[in-house]
Chain A
Amino acid sequence: MTAHSGTLAGASLGAESIADRLMRRRRRRPAFVGVPLTAMIDIVFLLLLYFLLSMQSRPREAIFALDLQIDQDESSTEETVDTDPFALQEPPMVIVVGSTGVGRDACTLDVRPIIASAGPPPRSIAELRPYLRSLRASDDGSTGLFRDSQTVIIQSSDATTRWEHVMGVYSAARQAGLTQITFEEPTS
């Protein structure tokens, strides 16, 4: 009996010592030191969003690609080109543009040659594109006057002509499907 009670006492003592040991181990373990990252991630994402939006808010650029033909020797004017001497030379279309003020439509146009069958000549850039389209020859050549290879020369009426109006004419000609567009040297 004594031995039995002694065994029980020993067992309870053993259980207490295990619990104490566990508590001591828990107390000894250092507290978890965590860096609060949530605020930093918030700020980082805000910065990322700011840079993304600020880059996209800038107006995007587009381009008109053109090839400038370089004449290496300006003095040499004689060229030996095999062309048909009896071929009819297509007269170029000349568009003289002048600026009358600020704004896309504040300009004057003078389109030559005057083609009576095409209706009244265009007075603004908005009218120029349908006018050029109406003159463009169809694929089978049955209708229209100008092929896509028709040369168009853009001239300025004077030195005050604005670049935006010249580009408006150039854009209208490109929209009409014309590809041979030349900028004439401005007269001083």
Chain B
Amino acid sequence: MSVVFPRGPAPVRANLTPLIDVTFLLIVFFALVSQIADTERIELQLPQPADSASAIAPDGSRVIVSLVSDEVTGAVTGYRLGALPFAADDAGRAALVSRMATFYGSNPDLAVRVRADGTASYPSVYEALQVITDAAREAELSDARVHLAIEQPRSAP
């Protein structure tokens, strides 16, 4: 004896709403993260040593100092602390030292990542290292953690 359903079998439908929710959340996340990274990391041609003994940049607490330099002369035309611009003169450097000392005061283990063009002159980068030293001294630290940024070589794993 067979039973006949007058309406036919119930349709099997996948509930797509949670999938779409999660996908949109992922899109919003990637869009925001990429925008934050863009404002924090300006476009620079970092040095590319041939066989580098470098390490992958850790995800710990860090602040990024970028050096905006002239391509021809290699002289620094400005600094960026994260997204904040600072002039490459005495007043700008003093303001940068003060701001970084504030950061060091709140987090002594802060790592400062220095990003500079490969074409930047060595004296200008050394000056930036001196700024970091002055800020750490103002915050009464005994040492400062510095990360020199390079472009990851393609041969590295």
- Tell me the residues in window 136-188 of chain A with beta carbons closer than 8 Å to chain B beta carbons: 156, 159-164, 166-168, 170-172, 174-175, 183, 185-186, 188
Residues of A within 8 A of B113 (CB): 63
Residues of A within 8 A of B57 (CB): 61-63
Q: Which residue of B lies closest to A59 (CB)?
A: B151
Bound form: Cα–Cα A156–B129 in Å: 15
A-B contact count (CB 8 A): 174
CB pair A163–B119 under 8 Å, yes or no, is yes
Residues of B within 8 A of A55 (CB): 30, 33-34, 37
Residues of A within 8 A of B56 (CB): 60, 62-63
CB pair B129–A162 under 8 Å, yes or no, is no
CB pair A61–B149 under 8 Å, yes or no, is yes
Report the minimum CB–CB distance from A126 to chain B (whole Å): 7
Given the known interface contacts A104-B50, A171-B54, the answer about A68 and B143 at a Cβ–Cβ threshold of 8 Å is: yes
Residues of A within 8 A of B65 (CB): none
Any A CB within 8 A of the CB of B31: yes
Which range contains the number of B residues in contact with the other chain? 35 or more
Residues of B within 8 A of A86 (CB): none
CB pair B24–A54 under 8 Å, yes or no, is no
Partner of B121 from A60, A161, A167 at Cβ < 8 Å:
A161
Partner of B136 from A65, A70, A168, A174 at Cβ < 8 Å:
A70
Give the top 8 A-B pairs by smallest Cβ distance, nearest first: A164-B118, A171-B49, A62-B54, A51-B30, A174-B53, A63-B147, A164-B47, A167-B47
**New contact pairs (13) apart from A160-B121, A163-B117, A163-B119, CB-CB < 8 Å:** A41-B23, A44-B23, A61-B46, A62-B151, A62-B156, A63-B55, A63-B58, A72-B137, A163-B74, A163-B121, A168-B50, A171-B52, A183-B126
